[in-house]
Amino acid sequence: MAGPKVMLINAWSGSGGDAFPYYFRAAGLGPLIGTRTWGGLIGYSGQPGLIDGGRLTVPTFSFYNLDGEWDVEGHGVEPDIEVVDDPSLMLDGGDPQLDRAIAEVLKALEENPPVRPDRPAYPVR
């Protein structure tokens, strides 16, 4: 998809909400706006059954970054532009994170408008 992109993140983002912003940034798609994500990227696979019908879950995998280091778990992903949610503003219809995201996209559109490819001639059939 052509054009600028931003991603809103906050502390309620965990698991895929931690991984997706990490990869969004790594791909250079645009700035992350908001507050640091939760930092929960350990997963489990398989749930052995117990005699009482319960299940046992044990963390079996985690996340390492593109440099081969364990990352994100227990810390989260930091935003490029920190904007704290203010519930009192949201009660009045405001949304500081969304407002900043829109401002960043409009600024990027002005500085680097997307170039649409020329449409080729229709084939003769």
Q: Is residue 111 very low, low, confident or very high in pLDDT (cuts 50, 70, 90)?
A: very high
Look at residue 125 and tell me if it is in a domain: no
Confidence (pLDDT) at 74: 84
Residue 81 belongs to domain with CATH number:
3.90.226.10
Other CB atoms within a 10 A radius of the CB of residue 115 amount to: 7
Cα torsion at 35, 39, 41, 47 (round to 10°)? Answer: -120
Per the prediction, the chain carries an average pLDDT of 90
User: Residue 47: inside a domain, yes or no?
Assistant: yes
Cα diameter, the chain:
71
For residue 40, the model assigns a pLDDT of 87
For residue 118, tell me if it sits in a domain: no
**pLDDT one-digit tens code per residue, 18-58:** 999 999 999 999 999 999 999 988 887 778 889 999 988 88
Q: Which domain holds residue 83?
A: 7-111
Count the domains in the chain.
1
19 located within any domain = yes
25 lies in some domain: yes
**Domain membership flag for residue 2:** no
Say if residue 61's pLDDT is above 90. Answer: no
pLDDT band for 116, please (50, 70, 90 cuts).
confident
Q: Do the domain assignments include residue 119?
A: no
93 within domain boundaries: yes
